[in-house]
Amino acid sequence: MMVELFLVSEPSNESLPDVPEPVPTPVPGEVTAAEPGEVAAAPGTEHPPARRGRLVVFAALAGVLAGALVATGAIVFTGRFAPAGRFDVAVYLKRDPSAEQREAVGRALAALEPEELGYESREQAWAKFKGMLKDRPDLLTGDASNMPESWRAVVTAVWFDCEQLAPLWKLPGVDQVTVLQLPEGDRPGAKIACGDPR
């Protein structure tokens, strides 16, 4: 009996032609896979290079505009664009102050750089008081000796800083200090509560 032997060799890769791998066709609504480092995009959302460039520019402009709005809001909040107001500072002197005490108050108010500054004697204060009550003479009692001497200054500022009154309160001839915001247009007047730091 004869036995025939057949040797079968493993197929070599070199003998097989290169066959390209099939490219999957995207299915509507399916999210395509992304390469490492990329973000997968749903079909229909891919942007051509020109459109992506425009989107980047628009995003940059939006960021700049948002920053400008924040800066503008900060400026308005801090009062740089707020309208300036006029504040009436009245300093009432103690009874029978000396000439030196009276002049010291005037110098302290002048340091505030007011647009108006003036001194009011007892007689002037009494005359003004009578003018206010000219329709009610029955309410008038006393005389000029009951009225205090005072200094008045009008200061223009966006907001009034009560700390600037500290030197005034330290003067020996000062009895009281009041601050009133004068009415401007539709804005009513108001009393500024600075208080007495003594």
65-78 residue pLDDT tens: 444 433 434 333 44
Q: What is the DSSP letter of 184?
A: B
Q: Does some domain include residue 70?
A: no
Q: Which CATH number characterizes residue 157's domain?
A: 3.30.70.1110
Give 33-95 as a 3 state SS string: CCCCCCCCCCCCCCCCHHHHHHHHHHHHHHHHHHHHHHHHHHHHHHCCCCCCEEEEEEEEECC
Q: Does some domain include residue 166?
A: yes
Q: Does some domain include residue 126?
A: yes
Q: Does some domain include residue 75?
A: no
As for how many domains the chain has, the answer is 1
Q: Does some domain include residue 110?
A: yes
Question: What's the domain range around 93?
Answer: 85-132+144-192
Q: Does some domain include residue 113?
A: yes
Q: Does some domain include residue 181?
A: yes
At 80-137, the pLDDT tens digits run: 556 789 999 999 999 999 999 999 999 999 999 999 999 999 999 999 999 999 888 8
Angstrom distance (rounded) from CA 183 to CA 107: 27
Token digits of residue 150: 């005072």
Instruction: Say what the pLDDT of residue 101 is.
Output: 97
Q: Does some domain include residue 27?
A: no
At 164-185, the pLDDT tens digits run: 999 999 999 999 999 999 998 8
